[in-house]
Amino acid sequence: MLSDEEVKLYLRAGRIAGKSLLYGMEIIHEGMPVIELCEKIEGMIVKLGGQPAFPCNISINDVAAHYTSPPDDDLTVPKGSLVKIDVGVHVNGYIADTAGTVAFRPEHERLMLASKKALEAALTAIKSGVSLGMIGTIIERTARGYGFTTIRNLTGHKIKPWILHAGKSVPNVSTMTLERMKEGEVYAIEPFLTPGKGFVVEEDRTYIFSYAGGKAKGSKERALLHAIWSRFRSLPFCERWLIKIAPENSDVLQALRRKRLLYEYPVLREAGRGIVAQWEHTVIVTKKGSIVTTAIE
């Protein structure tokens, strides 16, 4: 069970995340540098009193997840694109995770709406005792009702303080599982919908990392690992953040990667190059329902 203080921290993180996502969806425009969008949203998180729980993800068209700008990014928001904005916030380690989709082409609006409706349907079913498989069934049925498929190898996830993915996964497809939601647990629910093949593959590029454990030998590597743990613990981070501490961290980061002291999050793309829409909220499970921490009235 969560204490009253823990609930307050989750709700505070959720309000900041929701407001920061809304801000990003309001300022995004065709031709906008993606690095500018990432940094403005991350700056808003800090301005509102939180810290990013992971780098802002800006995933365009058939890219489903894990794209954040590298330091020298020249990518801009393409004309007529479908853009997912995924925002994470923590307050003293208590995390909120939320996402939304912006469509710059009218024919993408049905996919965007279907993803949003799948999320809404899932939220109405959440309460203590409900099976995780049932949530997946609801999401998949809603998607199929609109003529789309869900991405089966991307899931929602349980959240704990300082742990973004805390063991339990919430499927986006009908799944046979005995696992159930329990009162006081916190989950991110995030349907990914596509007209494509319904699964993602890893690209050969990675911009997001987290500390994987282990010790470094060199003094510079030890210093950077200490800085990573002090600032982020096990939460994801990106190179953009590290070079603000010190420019030489870019070379040290690559050394840590080679020694596998970092966990890597490759950019994920829909296998059939189908465009992808995503909506996401974080919820606290209660006996009779849930509290959506990231909802903005």
Task: Please identify which of the residues 42, 239, 270, 280 carries the catalytic annotation.
Answer: 280
Can you tell me the mean pLDDT for 141-161?
97
pLDDT of residue 170: 96
CATH classification (class only), 208-266: mainly alpha
Task: Please identify which of the residues 39, 165, 179, 183 carries the catalytic annotation.
Answer: 165
Confidence of residue 85 (pLDDT cuts 50, 70, 90): very high
Can you tell me the mean pLDDT for 44-57?
98
Task: Please identify which of the residues 42, 62, 140, 190 carries the catalytic annotation.
Answer: 190
Can you tell me the mean pLDDT for 44-58?
98
Confidence of residue 254 (pLDDT cuts 50, 70, 90): very high
- Tell me the percentage of the chain whose pLDDT exceeds 70: 100
Can you tell me the mean pLDDT for 39-55?
98
Is 90 an active-site residue?
no
Task: Please identify which of the residues 86, 140, 185, 270 carries the catalytic annotation.
Answer: 86
Confidence of residue 239 (pLDDT cuts 50, 70, 90): very high
Task: Please identify which of the residues 66, 90, 108, 157 carries the catalytic annotation.
Answer: 157
pLDDT at 177 over 90: no
Dist CA 128 CA 145 (whole Å): 27
Q: Hey, what are 213's tokens?
A: 């454990």
Is 4 an active-site residue?
no
Confidence of residue 178 (pLDDT cuts 50, 70, 90): confident
Place of tokens 């949530």: 135
Is 97 an active-site residue?
yes
pLDDT of residue 297: 66
Higher confidence at residue 125 or residue 1?
125
Sheet holding 94-103, edge to edge: 51-60, 82-91, 94-103
Q: Do the Cβ atoms of 95 and 80 come closer than 8 Å?
A: no
Confidence of residue 78 (pLDDT cuts 50, 70, 90): very high
pLDDT of residue 218: 87
Dist CA 267 CA 274 (whole Å): 15
Is 280 an active-site residue?
yes
Residue intervals in the chain for CATH 1.10.10.10: 208-266
Instruction: State the fold for domain 4-202+267-292.
Output: Creatine Amidinohydrolase (3.90.230)
Instruction: Map residue 53 onto helix, strand or coil.
Output: strand
Residue intervals in the chain for CATH 3.90.230.10: 4-202+267-292
pTM listed for this prediction? 0.95
Q: Hey, what are 4's tokens?
A: 């009253």
